[in-house]
Amino acid sequence: MARVQLITTGVMEERALGKSLRRLFPDHEFVSWPRLDGFTSARLPPAPPLPSGVRLNLDKFVANLIGAFDPGNRRDRSRPDFVVAVEDVELANADDPARITASLRDALQRRFDAWPTKDRAHDRLREDLQRKVSFHLMAPMTEAYFFADSRALARATAPAPCRPSRFDPETDVETFALDDPDYLGPPADPSSPWCTETGRQGHPKRYLIYLTESSAGGRYRESEHGARALEGLDWRHVARSPDHTRFARSLLADLEDMLGPPSQALPSATAAGQTHSLTWPPPRDHLLRNL
């Protein structure tokens, strides 16, 4: 049995991603660390001017990846066998997610070069990162995958949606292109939490709030409804179309490479060429397992 440590940036993923993946790989343990601050909500790479002395979330994120296997890390606890970090693509970089992976890679390289280990310890740490640590993206964010699994969507909108979903389930949830004029058009109540001036298109979380909005406001809460939906998410549905959900397939392919075949058959999920090239398979000069 392998122990996989998850690094997440959202309360929903912190609470439920491990349980969700455990259903696919029941012989292995998935443990979440307290979530970190996300770094993809603004355009990457970070643009100056930036305040001096305040560490970017991106830098803190990579420090956690490296620190997981640092030899100076506390010795009274067993090390995880693997670390899998997961972050949302979000909207700011959705047109070019390579900005995210490139920024992470740059930050990782910079931080690793300055990491206070020497010689053999430094080499061992590099090997650990290359063999045991992965970084994956959820596109545009984890909530999108609920729209690929009707039961997960029902749990996210429980007890019942107040409005029908007009997301076309035959399209790729990772693109999350909506054609719902009531949601995208001028709203009746501009103070609704989903009702931002920009950023409604392609935003499954806001769409869930819209779908569950009664007179008392949007009911969807990621820590509650989202966590329940993610915990029970059927990854077979997420991965059913060979040309869709390539970021999710990358995660699944990586996990299969780490842990062996999943307990549930994932048709076409991990076939070569159908993952997202940014996150699987690994490039030749990889710093992490897949980056």
Partner 1 sequence: MSPIAYRARALGPLRAIDWAIPPGVSVVVGPNRVGKSTLLRLPELVMRIITEGVHDAFKVIFEGVPHLRNLGLPPSAPMTLGVAVDPSEWEIELTVQAGQIAEFPNEHLRVDGDAILWRKFGSKEIEGKDCRFPLHNGLLASLSDTFVQSVYASLDDDTPWAPPDMSDPDLITKLRQYMPSDAPDLVVYAAMRMTMMFLPAMSVLSFRTYHYEINHLLRFGSLHSSAMELQVTGENVFPLLRNWRDKPEFEERYEFVLATMREIFPHLGRVGFEQAGQTVTMKISDRRWPGATTIPIARESTGFITALLQICAVASCRRNGLVTLDEVETSLHPRAIRVLIDAFRRWAAKHDLRIVLATQSETVLDQFRDEPSQVFVLEPTQETSPKALTDLFSPEYLSQFSLGDLFAHLEFGGDSDEERAP
Stretch that binds partner 1, among 45-53, 133-141, 171-179, 257-265 (CB under 8 A): 45-53
The minimum distance between CB 38 and partner 1, in angstroms, equals 7
Listed in sequence order, the residues at least 6 apart from 87 whose beta carbon sits closer than 8 Å to its beta carbon are 9, 38, 39, 40, 61, 100, 135, 136, 137, 138
CB of 196 to partner 1, least distance (A): 10
Q: Is 48 in the site for partner 1 (CB under 8 A)?
A: no
Q: What residues are paired with 82 via a beta bridge? A: 4
Contact 247, 174 (CB under 8 A): yes
Cα–Cα distance, 269 to 244 (Å, whole number)? 10
Task: Provide the 3-class DSSP secondary structure of residue 42.
Answer: coil
| 265 binding partner 1? (CB under 8 A) | no
- Tokens 């809460």 sit on residue: 221
Residues 81-120 that bind partner 1 (CB under 8 A): 92
Cis amide linkage into residue 187, ω under 30° from 0: no
Instruction: Choose which of 2, 42, 121, 184 interacts with partner 1 (CB under 8 A).
Output: 42
Q: Are 68 and 61 in contact (CB under 8 A)?
A: no
Q: With CB under 8 A, what is the number of residues at the site for partner 1?
A: 25
Least separation in angstroms between residue 101's CB and partner 1 is 17
Bridge partners of 135, per DSSP, are 85
Give the Cα separation of 284 and 87 in Å (integer).
23
Q: How far apart are CA 183 and CA 191, in angstroms?
A: 14
Residue 264 makes contact with partner 1 by CB under 8 A: no
Q: Judge if the upstream peptide bond of residue 140 is cis by omega within 30 degrees of 0.
A: yes
Considering only 41, 64, 171, 192, the residue that binds partner 1 (CB under 8 A) is 41
- Long-range contacts made by residues 72-75, C-beta under 8 angstroms, separation at least 24? 72/117
Q: Nearer to partner 1 by C-beta: 4 or 36?
A: 36
Site string for partner 1, 145-184 (x = CB under 8 A): ----------------------------------------
**Contact between residue 134 and residue 83 where contact means Cβ atoms under 8 Å apart:** yes
When the beta carbons of 49 and 164 are compared against partner 1, the nearer one is 49
Nearer to partner 1, 78 or 198 (CB): 198
Amino acid letter at 192?
Answer: S
Q: Which is nearer to partner 1, 167 or 220 (CB)?
A: 220
Q: Which of 26, 27, 31, 55 binds partner 1 (CB under 8 A)?
A: 55
Binding test (CB under 8 A) with partner 1, winner from 17, 24, 58, 209 = 58
Could you say whether residue 43 binds partner 1 (CB under 8 A)?
yes
Give contact residues for partner 1 (rule: CB under 8 A): 11, 34, 37-39, 41-43, 46, 50-51, 53-58, 60, 92, 215-217, 221, 223-224
